[in-house]
Structure 1
Amino acid sequence: MRFEETKYFSLLPHSKIEFTFGKFYFFENFVISEVHEGVHFDWDKILEVIGAMQDYYGEGIEIAYISNRVDSYSIEPQLWYRFHKEFDFIVAVATVAYNDFAYINASIEKQFANISLKRCDDLDAALSWIKHLKEFSQK
């Protein structure tokens, strides 16, 4: 389910940023992404999103990332290595997989991630997991 179709859309304060390749919702300490169908989410697109995150959150950010995979798109799992080498502000990732293929892809990405990566069946589970992360328990 798309974020805008959930009860959280009106309950949780956020800012929406639209790129040609997807929608990103910025919250106090996490981001929800919804990449469009058929997109190859490559390093250049990742850098666009990172730039928007840094503009929005400023220096010294520490956030979680929810990949809400309502549409099918591709990403190279090894980009996690590159991301962790150059950036360190994402402390955890939840991937919402709505079908077996997306779940398998998330499982492959989990092998490349140097941070906690949780696979979830819906946004409720992802948001609950993010809310209970030790990194945010004292905020």
Structure 2
Amino acid sequence: MKFENSIYFNQLKHHKVVFPFGTYYLLDRYVIAEHEEGIHFDWDSIQQIADYLIDYYGPDLRIGHIANRVNHYSVDPNLWHIFNKKFGFIVASAIAVYDDFGYRNATLEKQFSSNSIKRCTSLEEALFWMQNLEEFKK
């Protein structure tokens, strides 16, 4: 389910940003990403969103990331490692998947990340997990 179609859209304060590759919802401590169908999420896209997030949250940001996989798209799982090495501001990620193929891809990505990644079967599960992260309770 897309964030805009969920009950949380009107309940959670957010800032919506639309990029050519997807829509991002910026909340206080985390970001919800919904990428467009069929795109390849590459380093140029990552750099564009990273620059935007640093401008929006400030240079000392530490946020969570929810990939709400309502569409199928590709991403090189090695980019997780490169991203964390260059930026390092994502403390944990949740990947909401809606089919077996998406779950298998999320499992593969989890193996390439040094951060905690939670595979979820709904946006609601991802939001609940993100809102209760120990990293944000410190």
Question: What is the identity, as a one-letter code, of the residue corresponding to 2:134?
Answer: K
Q: CA deviation at 1:85?
A: 1.1
Amino acid at match of 1:53: L
Question: Aligned residue for 1:43?
Answer: 43
Cross-structure match for 2:4: 4
- Correspondence list, 1:122-137, <5 A: 122-137=122-137
For residues 19 and 98 of structure 2, the distance between their equivalents in structure 1, rounded to whole angstroms, comes to: 22
Which residue identity lines up with residue 97 of structure 1 in the other structure? V
Q: How much does 1:55 deviate?
A: 1.0
Scaled by the length of structure 1, what TM-score is found?
0.98
Deviation string 1:73-131 (CA, Å, 9 cap, x unpaired) is 00000111111110111000000000000100000000000000000000110011011
User: Aligned partners of 1:94, 1:71: CA distance in 2, in Å?
Assistant: 16
RMSD: 0.6
Give 1:30's aligned residue.
30
How many pairs does the alignment contain? 138
Gaps of 5+ in 2: none
| Percent of residue pairs bearing the same amino acid type | 48
The 3-state SS of whatever aligns with 2:74 is coil
CA distance in structure 2 between the partners assigned to 1:126 and 1:101 by the alignment = 18
C-alpha distance in 1 between matches for 2:80 and 2:131: 23
Report the equivalent of 1:107: 107
How far apart, in 2, do the equivalents of 1:137 and 1:84 lie?
Answer: 22
Runs of 4+ aligned structure 1 residues displaced above 4 Å come to none
Deviations along 1:48-77, one digit per CA (max 9) or x if unpaired, are 110110111011111000000000000000
2: distance between equivalents of 1:21 and 1:59?
24
Distance 2:30 2:39 in 1: 22
CA–CA separation in structure 1 for the residues paired with 2:70 and 2:14: 19
